[in-house]
C-alpha cells in the first residue's frame, strides 16, 4: 500500500553542482528516516538518505543483495533478470557469497596491496609519460585515469595487454545506463567471448596470478572461474578510473585544498578518504530487498520490497559529519560508506586507495602547474552511468 499523503517519487538525480549529490536528497533526509520511492516501472520501494539507517540496512539479516530481487533505481534497458551467474558473488547472499569471496580476500589485504605498490607506481609513471608525450590539452581520462586501474587489475588477474582496451569498452558500455539493447548485447557477447577464450587457456596453463591461484585451488568449475574473473574486472575498472578522474577535477576546483596537500604530502591518506566520502561516485547507491515483512526505521517494509541507499546522501549526513558539504582533506573523522559496509563492503578497497594515493601524488608531483584546459562547467559528466565521473578531462600545464 502506498501512503496517499506521500506518493512515491523517483530517485533524485538532478545536480546543481558536479561535486555535490542531487539536490532532492537534503529535504528527504531532514524529514524522514526512510522515504518512499518509486522505481522506474512504478513499483513502490524505499530510499535511505541517512547514515545510521544505511549502516543498519547493510548488516540487517532480513535484507538480501541477491540479483533476482533488485530493481534499477533509474530507467535503463539493461535489466538483469534471475540469479547472478555462478561465481559472480557481489549479487549473492551468504553462504554462497562467502564461499567465493573468501577465495580471493587474500589478494586484496592491506599487506598484499603494499606489496603491489611498486607495480602500481610503475604503471602510473608509464601513463604519466604518455600524458607528457600527449602534451598540454590532453584528455586525462583517456591517457591516465582509465588506463591505470585497468592495467593494474589486468596484471593481477593475468589478462593479456592485447585484451585490455576492448574489456575497458565492454565494462564502460555495461555501466552506462543509456546504452541501447544492441550495444549492451554486443558488450555482453564481447565479455563472454573474452572469458571463453581466456579462462580455459589458463586452466591448461595456470600462471602466477589470481586466476592461476584459483585454478590450482581446484574448488571452482570453469563457469565459476569465469564469473569470478568478470566480477573482479567489472568491480575494479569503472569505479577506480572514475574516482581518480573525479578527484583530480575536484582538487583543481578546490585550489586551497590542493595547495594544502602539496604543502603537506603526509595528508594524502586522509585526502583520499575525504575525496571518497565527499564525491561518493557510486551515485545510484546500493540496493537490498526484504526477504520477509520487516519493521525497519519506523516503517513496515513488505517482503520483496527494494530499499536503495543513496550513498552520496548518507555520506553528507550532518548527524554524522560536521560541515558535511565542505571538502576538508584534513578531516580525521572518516568511516564513510563510499565503499559500502557489512559483508559486501568493497573487496578492492585497499587496492583502490593505493591506486588513488599513488596516482594523485605522482600526477601533482610531475605536473605541479596542472589545470583544466576547459571551463570547469563544461566538463562533460557521466551522469548516465552506474559510476559518476568526468567523461573527459582536458588538462594543461606549463611545459
**Candidate list 179, 231, 250, 257; residue touching ligand HEM; CB under 6 A:** 231
Decide if residue 123 touches ligand HEM (CB under 6 A): no
Sole window of 70-78, 140-148, 210-218, 229-237 interacting with ligand HEM (rule: CB under 6 A): 229-237
Distances (CA, A) of 148 to 125, 270, 322, 328, 346: 9, 21, 34, 26, 19
User: In angstroms, what is the minimal distance from the CB of 280 to ligand HEM?
Assistant: 8
Q: Dihedral sign for Cα 311, 312, 313, 317, please.
A: positive
Binding mask 42-81 for ligand HEM (x = CB under 6 A): -----------------------x----------------
Decide if residue 243 touches ligand HEM (CB under 6 A): yes
User: In angstroms, what is the minimal distance from the CB of 16 to ligand HEM?
Assistant: 23
Q: Where are the alpha helices (DSSP H) in 280-377?
A: 311-314, 349-366
Question: Which residues in the 322-351 window bind ligand HEM by CB under 6 A?
Answer: 338-340, 344, 346-348, 351
Sole window of 181-189, 214-222, 279-287, 289-297 interacting with ligand HEM (rule: CB under 6 A): 279-287
User: In angstroms, what is the minimal distance from the CB of 399 to ligand HEM?
Assistant: 31
Q: Which is nearer to ligand HEM, 127 or 231 (CB)?
A: 231
Q: Which is nearer to ligand HEM, 186 or 270 (CB)?
A: 270
User: In angstroms, what is the minimal distance from the CB of 267 to ligand HEM?
Assistant: 18
Q: Where are the alpha helices (DSSP H) in the chain?
A: 25-31, 51-58, 96-104, 110-134, 140, 147-157, 161-175, 181-203, 210-217, 222-253, 255-263, 268-279, 311-314, 349-366
Spell out the residues 6+ positions from residue 123 whose beta carbon is closer than 8 angstroms to its own.
147, 148, 151, 152, 155
Q: Which is nearer to ligand HEM, 101 or 202 (CB)?
A: 101
Cell 595528508 belongs to which residue? Answer: 267
For residues 372 and 129, the answer to whether their CB atoms sit within 8 Å is: no
Q: Three-state SS for 307?
A: strand
C-beta nearest to ligand HEM: residue: 348
Binding mask 141-180 for ligand HEM (x = CB under 6 A): ----------------------------------------
Cis amide leading into 95 (omega within 30): yes
Question: Which residues in the 352-381 window bind ligand HEM by CB under 6 A?
Answer: 352
Q: Which is nearer to ligand HEM, 115 or 204 (CB)?
A: 115
Sole window of 111-119, 212-220, 238-246, 295-303 interacting with ligand HEM (rule: CB under 6 A): 238-246
User: In angstroms, what is the minimal distance from the CB of 69 to ligand HEM?
Assistant: 13
Cα of 379 vs its chain's centroid, Å: 20
Cell 596516482 belongs to which residue? Answer: 359
For residues 33 and 49, the answer to whether their CB atoms sit within 8 Å is: no
User: In angstroms, what is the minimal distance from the CB of 54 to ligand HEM?
Assistant: 10
**Candidate list 281, 284, 310, 363; residue touching ligand HEM; CB under 6 A:** 281
Cell 586466476 belongs to which residue? Answer: 211
**Candidate list 286, 307, 327, 372; residue touching ligand HEM; CB under 6 A:** 286
Spell out the residues 6+ positions from residue 268 whose beta carbon is closer than 8 angstroms to its own.
261, 357, 360, 361
Angle between helices 349-366 and 110-134 (to 10 degrees): 30
**Candidate list 11, 34, 90, 103; residue touching ligand HEM; CB under 6 A:** 90
Q: Which is nearer to ligand HEM, 313 or 347 (CB)?
A: 347
For residues 107 and 115, the answer to whether their CB atoms sit within 8 Å is: no
DSSP string, 75-94: --S----SSPPTT-GGG--T
User: In angstroms, what is the minimal distance from the CB of 67 to ligand HEM?
Assistant: 11
Q: Strand 294-296 relative to strand 395-396: parallel, antiparallel, unpaired? A: unpaired
Sole window of 239-247, 252-260, 312-320, 378-386 interacting with ligand HEM (rule: CB under 6 A): 239-247
Tell me which residues touch ligand HEM (CB under 6 A).
65, 89-90, 101, 231-232, 235-236, 239-240, 243, 281-282, 286, 338-340, 344, 346-348, 351-352
Amino acid at each position: 500500500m502506498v501512503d496517499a499523503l506521500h506518493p512515491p517519487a523517483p530517485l533524485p538525480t538532478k545536480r546543481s553542482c558536479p561535486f555535490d549529490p542531487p539536490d532532492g536528497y537534503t529535504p528527504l533526509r531532514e524529514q524522514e528516516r526512510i522515504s518512499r520511492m518509486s522505481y522506474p516501472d512504478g513499483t513502490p520501494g524505499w530510499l535511505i538518505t541517512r547514515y545510521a539507517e544505511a549502516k543498519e540496512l547493510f548488516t540487517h539479516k532480513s535484507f538480501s543483495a541477491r540479483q533476482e530481487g533488485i530493481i534499477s533505481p533509474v530507467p535503463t534497458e539493461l535489466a538483469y533478470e534471475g540469479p547472478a551467474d555462478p561465481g559472480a558473488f557481489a549479487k549473492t547472499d551468504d553462504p554462497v557469497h562467502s564461499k567465493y569471496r573468501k577465495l580471493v580476500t587474500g589478494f586484496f589485504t592491506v599487506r598484499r596491496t603494499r606489496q603491489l605498490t611498486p607495480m602500481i607506481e610503475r604503471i602510473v609513471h608509464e601513463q604519466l609519460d604518455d600524458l607528457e608525450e600527449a602534451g598540454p590539452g590532453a584528455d586525462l581520462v583517456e591517457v591516465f585515469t582509465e588506463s591505470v586501474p585497468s592495467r593494474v587489475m589486468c596484471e593481477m588477474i593475468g589478462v593479456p595487454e592485447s585484451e585490455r582496451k576492448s574489456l575497458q569498452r565492454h565494462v564502460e558500455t555495461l555501466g552506462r545506463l543509456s546504452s541501447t539493447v544492441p550495444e549492451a548485447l554486443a558488450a555482453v557477447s564481447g565479455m563472454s567471448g573474452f572469458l571463453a577464450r581466456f579462462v580455459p587457456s589458463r586452466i591448461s596453463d595456470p600462471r602466477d596470478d589470481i586466476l592461476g591461484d584459483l585454478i590450482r585451488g581446484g574448488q571452482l568449475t570453469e563457469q565459476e572461474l569465469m564469473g569470478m574473473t568478470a566480477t573482479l574486472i567489472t568491480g575494479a575498472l569503472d569505479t577506480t578510473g572514475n574516482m581518480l578522474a573525479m578527484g583530480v577535477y575536484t582538487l583543481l576546483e578546490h585550489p586551497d585544498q590542493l595547495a594544502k596537500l602539496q604543502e603537506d604530502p603526509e595528508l594524502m591518506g586522509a585526502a583520499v578518504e575525504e575525496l571518497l566520502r565527499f564525491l561518493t561516485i557510486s551515485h545510484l547507491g546500493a540496493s537490498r530487498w526484504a526477504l520477509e515483512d520487516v519493521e525497519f526505521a519506523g516503517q513496515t517494509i513488505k517482503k520483496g520490497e527494494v530499499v536503495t541507499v543513496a550513498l552520496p546522501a548518507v555520506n553528507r549526513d550532518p548527524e554524522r559529519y560536521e560541515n558535511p558539504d565542505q571538502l576538508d582533506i584534513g578531516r580525521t573523522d572518516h568511516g564513510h560508506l563510499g565503499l559500502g559496509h557489512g559483508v559486501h563492503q568493497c573487496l578492492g578497497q585497499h587496492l583502490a586507495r593505493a591506486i588513488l594515493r599513488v596516482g594523485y601524488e605522482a600526477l601533482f608531483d610531475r605536473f605541479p602547474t596542472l589545470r583544466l584546459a576547459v571551463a570547469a562547467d563544461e566538463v562533460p559528466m557521466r551522469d548516465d552511468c552506474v559510476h559518476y565521473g568526468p567523461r573527459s578531462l582536458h588538462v594543461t600545464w606549463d611545459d
